[in-house]
A and B are shown apart, each in its own frame.
Chain A
Amino acid sequence: MAVKFIINTGSNTPIYQQITGQARLAVASGRLAPGDQLPSVRALAEELVVNPNTVARAYADLTREGLLEARAGRGVFITRKRKVYSRAEGWRRLEPLLDALIGEAMVLDFTREELRKAFEEKLGQWKHPKGGDRNEE
């Protein structure tokens, strides 16, 4: 499945991080599956109208994380086996997002029960390719 990257200039997030963030999200949500091909560095750079080095840097970061692999002469693909962060690092990344979500919900006067229900419902809609259990790999 193809994924459409959208970048914004003037954001607090550098462009290469916008690309890596969107790729991670697409994999997590199943919009990108293992074996899917991403555009070449050059093609994505021209599509997004950004410096090819910026795309190359994003791809390099994703490759280091084990999300992407370059196959010689064929292109860039989402990896079959996804190496994830250590549990501790995972929590470190997740926690601020949880805080932001709960904080916003409190400000908007949602009850704990409403929030739990909405969370469960949303979770049901997301189809993680691995069923959400990282030990199944």
Chain B
Amino acid sequence: MRNEASVIRTRGLTKYFGAKPAVYELSLDVPRGCVFAFLGRNGSGKTTTIRMLAGLEQPTRGTGSILGCDIQALTPEIRARIGYLTEEHQLYSWMSVQECGEFQSKFFANWNNRIFRGIAGHFGLKSTAKVKDLSRGERAGLCLALTLAPEPELLLLDDPGMGLDPVAHRTLIESMIYLTRKSDRTIFFSSHDISDVERVADYIAVLDRSVLRACCPLEKFQECVRQVRLRFSGAPPALPKIPGLLQSIRTENELRVTCAPYDGEAEKTLRALSPMEMETVPLGLEDAFISYLGERGEKTFILSEMEAQP
């Protein structure tokens, strides 16, 4: 990844609220022209990161640049090349859909009204409808149209799928794919919808309790997380220390071990337990993600006790 090709670059970016770090030592490079998904559980620091990138929040320490400009000194020219969609969908409630477009267009030299009307149309918005009468999904659609119409070089979308019904959701994803028509466009979005991520993302970054845990091409993440099922004739032996262990599940005669990465060393350690059978299974993106961010350590599922409940 060449530095000059990065549209977003942070080094040690850190934000404290009081004594608690919301984002800790984040170093990230987002290459130009990619769709980059920013993942993590609620409260992991995604919104704070995006707000810092947009110049709305001062970092406690560390540095960041966006389109080559220091995030603490964003000029109006740079801001005009960035489309930022917030979680809150802030709009003037007394404006009509059309008035919102006209108002927003004044701030952008490249305003493309066809895109605005196209996306608003896909979300079923009438141009005369007042913002205060719109549903949550309609407001989300209007905000998306307002964000995309200036054809920004870089899009920062903070959970754009939140509150959308499945049809509106699909429209959102189609809009994102439409935007990649121009190969130098970069989309940086946070999301909880793993199937969206699977459809559109080239790269993912995973934030876990304020700390960046993974940052790689999507398929590499999926290839990296593996579950190994080991069967034993009796009770499984205690699990030795395994590099990259995320989770292990123990049943009467089976051990299911999830590792990232699952490499030669991990395999050797598991083989040394001499199981009767040993099988490696790939995980779907959602399972991979959940084992990556879920609780670490060993779990035991004793089915007989659960079944005893009427």
Contact = CB atoms under 8 A, between A and B. Distances in A.
Interface of A: 9-16, 42, 45-46, 49-53
Contacts of A9: 194-195, 198-199, 285
A51 B194 CA distance: 14
Given A16-B219, A49-B170, A51-B35, A10 B177 contact: no
Contacts, number: 45
Nearest to A50: B199
B222 interface: yes
Interface string B174-203: 100110110000000000001100111110
The 10 A-B residue pairs with the shortest CB-CB distance, nearest first, are A9-B195, A9-B198, A50-B199, A12-B284, A51-B200, A12-B282, A14-B219, A10-B284, A53-B202, A49-B173
Contacts of A50: 177, 199-200
B174 A14 contact: no
A46 B198 CA distance: 15
A11 B177 contact: no
Contact of A11 (B170, B199, B284): B284
B281 interface: yes
B283 interface: yes
B298 interface: no
Contacts of A10: 194-195, 198, 284-286
B283 to A, nearest CB: 7
Given A10-B195, A10-B198, A15-B198, A46 B174 contact: yes
A52 B180 contact: yes
B285 to A, nearest CB: 7
Interface residues of B, number: 23
Interface SS, B side: helix
24 contacts: A9-B194, A9-B195, A9-B199, A9-B285, A10-B195, A10-B285, A11-B284, A13-B282, A14-B219, A15-B198, A15-B199, A16-B219, A45-B177, A46-B174, A46-B178, A49-B177, A49-B199, A50-B177, A50-B200, A51-B35, A51-B199, A51-B200, A51-B202, A52-B180
Given A49-B170, A51-B201, A12 B283 contact: yes
Nearest to B282: A12
Interface string B216-229: 00010010000000
Chain B CB count within 10 A is highest, among A12, A13, A46, A51, for A51
A11 B281 CA distance: 12
Contacts of A46: 174, 177-178
Nearest to A53: B202
A49 B284 CA distance: 19
A132 B28 CA distance: 52
Nearest to B202: A53
A36 B160 CA distance: 39
Given A10-B284, A10-B285, A51 B195 contact: no
A53 B218 CA distance: 11
A32 B173 CA distance: 30
